[in-house]
Chains A and B, each alone.
Chain A
Amino acid sequence: MRKYYDEITRIAGNVVSITATGVGYDELAVITSARGTSLAQVIRLEGDQVSLQIFAGTQGVSTGDRVRFLGRPMQVPFSDDLLGRVFDGSGKPRDDRPDVEAKMVEIGSPAVNPIKRRRPDFMIDTGIPMIDIFNSLVESQKLPIFSVAGEPYNELLARVGLQAKADVILLGGMGLRHDDYLKFRDTFEKGGVLGRTIMFIHTAADPIVECLLVPDLCLAVGESYALQGKRVLCLLTDMTAFSDSLKEIAITMEQIPSNRGYPGDLYTQLARRYEKAVDFDGAGSMTLLACVTMPGDDVTHPVPDNTGYITEGQFYLRNGRIEPFGSLSRLKQQVNGKTRDDHRAIMDGCLQLYANCRETREKRDMGFEMSDWDRKLLHYGDLFESQIMDLSVNIPLFEALDRCWDILAECFEPVETGIRRAIVEKHWPKEMTREEKEAEAATV
């Protein structure tokens, strides 16, 4: 029989202090107020004073309210009944269906022993040429999408979710707009993957503390699946909202801020979550794709900056396209040598030509005269942008590589591409005979 405590001594921000004994650090509690009940977590012990972070916020909490300690840290149920379900940031169902009765797992498990990690070497097909060809996504990779508000980053995330062929998809929404959440749900439903998706959604209207728990809940469930040998894909959006919640709590707790108000342990907090991406030696894997909106499109802002130091590369999403320069998948070398012999050559060749094209565009904009070579580059750039870079393009890797060759052949002579001769000879599209051209025209 657990005791109730009712001597609340301090209410500030989302934190309540109460006089209590025998409480463990990080332990969970339930606070019952006139507004209903809420979960709370112990974030500081000092003598007989226990500081609790109230998940639902402290609005309406009275100094006479009752607190009951649960004697365990935050847990999340784990079973296949979770599939297809939607929960909020405190783990309660959000879809008007009953609670899940299942084995509970603790959130925030210890770090994985590096000895038990494999070197990742399995490519994830996304159907997006800018990822598949130029910065391949690798199983167990942790990769953020750096973007700004207004860009279709959630759509991109949903598309990867649909096409990645993962056993289990986890979606963690933080500070999400309600219609974005509905959009995710509809996309997954239409795509037929809702049955293997679990969502933890915190919308912008929900209490801020619940936002902090979303990644932990997702990752705890994901890790449990990975330990069962499943291939898990975890999608998190938006990690900037998560960091802002961290900031808010830290300021309430009167911690000294380090950079633009963010707490000094921002790096550690983010790393502990991102490092959950793993390829277990002898079990499954978890891949982590996260959206990070950059305030003011500034990559040196503490959130994208710290993220960049933690993750294995980054995608920049700008003007509705994945930017080829700056985007980087640090693990691509582990997989792109094993797909097709022209993969790396196309990756380097096409990008170099596109870089040249951008230079030429600058020259053109400054009023310099265009040479024949410049005109070729400009033509190439237009084709490359519309047929490869555009986010609506959805084709498998080999087809995308073939399409690159077609574009190259339309714009350049083989020697102008800068690609090794042996590769060019093997893959350069053959001239079509007149009959073939006519046949093609007839089918169109």
Chain B
Amino acid sequence: MKYKTYKNYYYRGIIVNGKIVAVFGNMVVAEAAGEVVQNSVGYCCRDDGAKLLSEIIRVRGRNVDLQVFEETRGLKIGDDVEFETDMLSVSLGPGLLGQIFDGLQNPLPQLAEQEGFFLNPGKYIPGLDQEKTWDFTPAVKAGDTVGAGDKLATVPEGIFQHEIMAPFTLQGQYTVKDIAKQGAYKVSDKIATLADSEGREREVTMRQDWPVKRALAICKRRLMPTEPLSTRVRIIDSMFPIVRGGTYCIPGPFGAGKTVLQQITSRHAEVDVVIVAACGERAGEVVETIREFPELTDPRTGKSLMERTIIICNTSAMPVAAREASVYTAVTLAEYYRQMGLDVLMLADSTSRWAQAMREVSGRLEEIPGEEAFPAYLESRIAGFYERAGAIELNDGRVASVTIGGTVSPAGGNFEEPVTQGTLKVVGAFHGLSRARSDARRYPAIDPLDSWSKYTGIIEPTKADRAKTVLKRGNEVKQMMTVVGEEGTPIDDFAVMLKAELFDNCYLQQNAFDEVDGATPPDRQKFVFDKILEILDTDFDFETKEQARKIMFEAQDILRTWNYEAADTDEYKTSVEKLDKFIAAKGRE
């Protein structure tokens, strides 16, 4: 059997050899015959020729601990290990958008073509198509000076002009010695030569590699994220907003709708590029996205939604070490597109699986465990990951951002566990999903009483607070009613409860499967929110509870119908009129 390895494509630097001395799960200990670099790549060579990609995670004397990104079945004591000096990297360049990669940037469709049904260990394909040619237009000329990340050229990639940038590793200013003429080139063709101040030359291709565990942010400065990012989910945009360059998390028990919420967000979010990292979750859900997205149109560009999306999928059955790498791969791709001046949203589902992968590795390293056997460095790793989000001002003055949203799957749905707590400390918004709400079919099941956001969204904070107060009061009344019954509740309290129900039913809840109700643009949200606030502020002077219930049901009916009506239709206008009339007459005929 002939195995193709990464090497021809990725290899730079020296190879150091080693021999395997221990194997345990996906951990291999090898004795190195020379210098090795922490977090660099190694290959465990199985005796049938397969080379299994691994990463150095600890060095003790001559012994090197490697985590293997594949099943270790068949490895033997004494088998060869080849150490390289490069860290685990991804290839950056045109051709990433619309792709479906595994956690190590192997394109899955191409793997399927080559390998069939299964993901066999030791089979790797370059992340960027080596044969495809791109229409290259230079943006600099010989003699110009450039620095790391400066634009050298553009190639059209689907909906964008993909910028070919000077290597991110450049130090200081370089002079362009020559640059390729307009024409068609492959990603690995030389397109420019740069020289530093001492005349040392460096050849540049459209492809460059970047280590996944190092943040990529070449910019003038980091900005305070303030620009609201609309997801068209009302409860998020209006009550618990997120911003471009911000971070948020969605913890929730199983079945509460985390993944559905992520899918909706990936569809409607008002950003340029969406990167979905399906990390240790069900393969079926990825399949849904893979099959659906190419058929959906992006309302912003009129093209297929897939053209702005990259899917990184390392489902739960795939090797666990690659799961740890997959979120880093995803965030590195996000940062790359940010360098082009774009707004990128990265969704990680689920960060708990990523944390569990760390726990498994830590356990095999026999490190002293922290809470629930998670490693002691769990929190700093989580913080480090979310810190890679951010809005930046690029060197040419453009503003770009990476927003990170991660789901958390706490054991037993209990938020008092290390991953949820470690995440809550570092994110800007918390969308807590509750089992009670999802059982009651109140979707999205974000708990409006528990959730919070530190950002300011499209609704003025004072207005949002007024609505929150009603919700809170309504909840208190409801609790009380379970004890004293409807008879024992004062009518004013009863009215507050009905108002809270109305706000919940007609604004916070949304039918994800309806084309109109499923996605509410920011302007419409503002308009509807104001109308509802009017109702919440109105003193209806109810005489009896039956009357109160009847009148508020009517309001709900009008609002709910309105939610399903496309903007600027006659029905939409009629609903608005009806509602105005209702408010003016306080619901009386």
User: Quick check: B363 and A112 within 8 Å, CB to CB?
Assistant: no
For B274-312 the 0/1 string (1 means CB < 8 A from A) is 000000101110111011000000000000000000000
A39: interface (CB < 8 Å): no
User: Quick check: B76 and A24 within 8 Å, CB to CB?
Assistant: yes
For A107-148 the 0/1 string (1 means CB < 8 A from B) is 011111111111110000000000000000000000000000
User: Quick check: A264 and B22 within 8 Å, CB to CB?
Assistant: no
A221: interface (CB < 8 Å): no
- Bound Cα distance from A256 to B100, whole angstroms: 35
For A282-310 the 0/1 string (1 means CB < 8 A from B) is 01000000000000000111100110111
Report chain A residues within 8 Å CB of B373. Answer: 256-259, 264
User: Quick check: A112 and B74 within 8 Å, CB to CB?
Assistant: no
Q: Scan residues 16-52 of chain A and give those whose CB is less than 8 A from a CB of chain B.
A: 21-27, 43-48
Task: Tell me which of B25, B29, B108 contacts A114 (CB under 8 A).
Answer: B108
- Bound Cα distance from A108 to B411, whole angstroms: 26
Report chain A residues within 8 Å CB of B75. Answer: 24-25, 45
A80: interface (CB < 8 Å): no
Report chain B residues within 8 Å CB of A272. Answer: 316-317
- Bound Cα distance from A46 to B24, whole angstroms: 8
- Bound Cα distance from A57 to B313, whole angstroms: 39
User: Quick check: B255 and A112 within 8 Å, CB to CB?
Assistant: no
Residue of A nearest to B107 (CB): A115
Task: Tell me which of A48, A112, A309 contacts B118 (CB under 8 A).
Answer: A112
User: Quick check: B73 and A26 within 8 Å, CB to CB?
Assistant: yes
User: Quick check: B320 and A265 within 8 Å, CB to CB?
Assistant: yes
User: Quick check: A114 and B315 within 8 Å, CB to CB?
Assistant: yes
- Bound Cα distance from A384 to B504, whole angstroms: 31
Q: Scan residues 244-293 of chain A and give those whose CB is less than 8 A from a CB of chain B.
A: 255-259, 263-265, 267-268, 271-272, 275-276, 278, 280, 283
Task: Tell me which of B47, B72, B315, B413 contacts A111 (CB under 8 A).
Answer: B315
User: Quick check: A256 and B24 within 8 Å, CB to CB?
Assistant: no
Report chain B residues within 8 Å CB of A229. Answer: none
B571: interface (CB < 8 Å): no
Task: Tell me which of B117, B255, B288 contacts A113 (CB under 8 A).
Answer: B117
For B555-581 the 0/1 string (1 means CB < 8 A from A) is 000000000000000000000000000
Residue of A nearest to B112 (CB): A115
- Bound Cα distance from A313 to B438, whole angstroms: 13
- Bound Cα distance from A110 to B71, whole angstroms: 8
Task: Tell me which of A119, A227, A259, A325 contacts B117 (CB under 8 A).
Answer: A227
CB distance from B163 to the nearest CB of A (A): 29
User: Quick check: A300 and B283 within 8 Å, CB to CB?
Assistant: no
Residue of B nearest to A257 (CB): B373
User: Quick check: B287 and A117 within 8 Å, CB to CB?
Assistant: yes
User: Quick check: B21 and A283 within 8 Å, CB to CB?
Assistant: no
Report chain A residues within 8 Å CB of B108. Answer: 113-115
B356: interface (CB < 8 Å): yes
Q: Scan residues 349-377 of chain B and give those whose CB is less than 8 A from a CB of chain A.
A: 353, 356, 359-360, 363, 366, 369, 372-374
User: Quick check: B100 and A271 within 8 Å, CB to CB?
Assistant: no
Report chain A residues within 8 Å CB of B77. Answer: 21-23, 45, 47-48
A77: interface (CB < 8 Å): no
CB distance from B503 to the nearest CB of A (A): 22
Q: Scan residues 90-131 of chain B and give those whose CB is less than 8 A from a CB of chain A.
A: 100, 108-109, 111-112, 115-121
Report chain A residues within 8 Å CB of B414. Answer: 300
Q: Assign chain A's interface to a size class.
A: 35 or more
A404: interface (CB < 8 Å): no
For A353-394 the 0/1 string (1 means CB < 8 A from B) is 000000000000000100000000000000000000000000
Report chain B residues within 8 Å CB of A276. Answer: 317
Residue of A nearest to B367 (CB): A256
B23: interface (CB < 8 Å): yes
Report chain A residues within 8 Å CB of B372. Answer: 258-259
User: Quick check: A271 and B316 within 8 Å, CB to CB?
Assistant: yes
User: Quick check: B117 and A305 within 8 Å, CB to CB?
Assistant: no
Q: Scan residues 201-255 of chain B and give those whose CB is less than 8 A from a CB of chain A.
A: 253-255
Report chain B residues within 8 Å CB of A120. Answer: 284
User: Quick check: B288 and A256 within 8 Å, CB to CB?
Assistant: no
User: Quick check: B73 and A73 within 8 Å, CB to CB?
Assistant: yes
For B394-432 the 0/1 string (1 means CB < 8 A from A) is 000000000000000101111000000000000000000
User: Quick check: A308 and B21 within 8 Å, CB to CB?
Assistant: no
B460: interface (CB < 8 Å): no
Task: Tell me which of B121, B255, B320 contacts A268 (CB under 8 A).
Answer: B320
User: Quick check: A264 and B356 within 8 Å, CB to CB?
Assistant: yes
User: Quick check: A271 and B280 within 8 Å, CB to CB?
Assistant: yes
Residue of B nearest to A363 (CB): B485
User: Quick check: A309 and B317 within 8 Å, CB to CB?
Assistant: no
Task: Tell me which of A26, A265, A308, A331 contacts B254 (CB under 8 A).
Answer: A308
Residue of A nearest to B366 (CB): A256
B318: interface (CB < 8 Å): yes
Q: Scan residues 322-358 of chain B and give those whose CB is less than 8 A from a CB of chain A.
A: 353, 356
User: Quick check: B254 and A113 within 8 Å, CB to CB?
Assistant: no
- Bound Cα distance from A118 to B369, whole angstroms: 41
Report chain B residues within 8 Å CB of A21. Answer: 77-78
Task: Tell me which of A25, A44, A113, A258 contacts B115 (CB under 8 A).
Answer: A113
A328: interface (CB < 8 Å): yes
Q: Scan residues 76-129 of chain A and give those whose CB is less than 8 A from a CB of chain B.
A: 108-120
B439: interface (CB < 8 Å): yes
User: Quick check: A310 and B112 within 8 Å, CB to CB?
Assistant: no
A60: interface (CB < 8 Å): no
A150: interface (CB < 8 Å): no
- Bound Cα distance from A368 to B439, whole angstroms: 26
Report chain A residues within 8 Å CB of B115. Answer: 113
User: Quick check: A309 and B74 within 8 Å, CB to CB?
Assistant: no
Task: Tell me which of A26, A275, A308, A368 contacts B283 (CB under 8 A).
Answer: A275
Report chain B residues within 8 Å CB of A267. Answer: 280, 316, 353, 356
Residue of A nearest to B487 (CB): A368
User: Quick check: B290 and A114 within 8 Å, CB to CB?
Assistant: yes
- Bound Cα distance from A52 to B117, whole angstroms: 31
Residue of B nearest to A271 (CB): B316
User: Quick check: A328 and B255 within 8 Å, CB to CB?
Assistant: yes
User: Quick check: A117 and B22 within 8 Å, CB to CB?
Assistant: no
CB distance from B446 to the nearest CB of A (A): 19
Known: A115-B108, A265-B320. A312 touches B284 (CB 8 A): yes
Report chain A residues within 8 Å CB of B121. Answer: 110
User: Quick check: A117 and B283 within 8 Å, CB to CB?
Assistant: yes
User: Quick check: A47 and B112 within 8 Å, CB to CB?
Assistant: no
Report chain B residues within 8 Å CB of A46. Answer: 21-22, 24, 29
Report chain A residues within 8 Å CB of B117. Answer: 112-113, 116, 227, 280, 283
Report chain B residues within 8 Å CB of A119. Answer: 287-288, 291
- Bound Cα distance from A325 to B409, whole angstroms: 21
Report chain A residues within 8 Å CB of B374. Answer: 258
- Bound Cα distance from A368 to B360, whole angstroms: 55
Known: A113-B115, A280-B117. A25 touches B316 (CB 8 A): no
- Nearest 7 pairs between A and B by C-beta? A300-B412, A271-B316, A275-B317, A258-B373, A308-B254, A26-B73, A111-B317
Which residues in A have some Cβ–Cβ distance to B below 8 Å?
21-27, 43-48, 73, 108-120, 227, 255-259, 263-265, 267-268, 271-272, 275-276, 278, 280, 283, 299-302, 305-306, 308-310, 312-314, 325-326, 328, 331, 368
Provide a sorted-by-A list of 8 A–B residue pairs whose CB atoms are within 8 angstroms.
A22-B77, A25-B72, A73-B73, A115-B109, A117-B284, A265-B320, A283-B117, A300-B411
Can you name 14 extra interface pairs (CB under 8 A) apart from A25-B72, A111-B317, A255-B363?
Answer: A45-B23, A111-B118, A111-B283, A111-B315, A112-B119, A112-B317, A113-B111, A113-B115, A113-B118, A115-B109, A119-B288, A259-B411, A271-B317, A272-B317
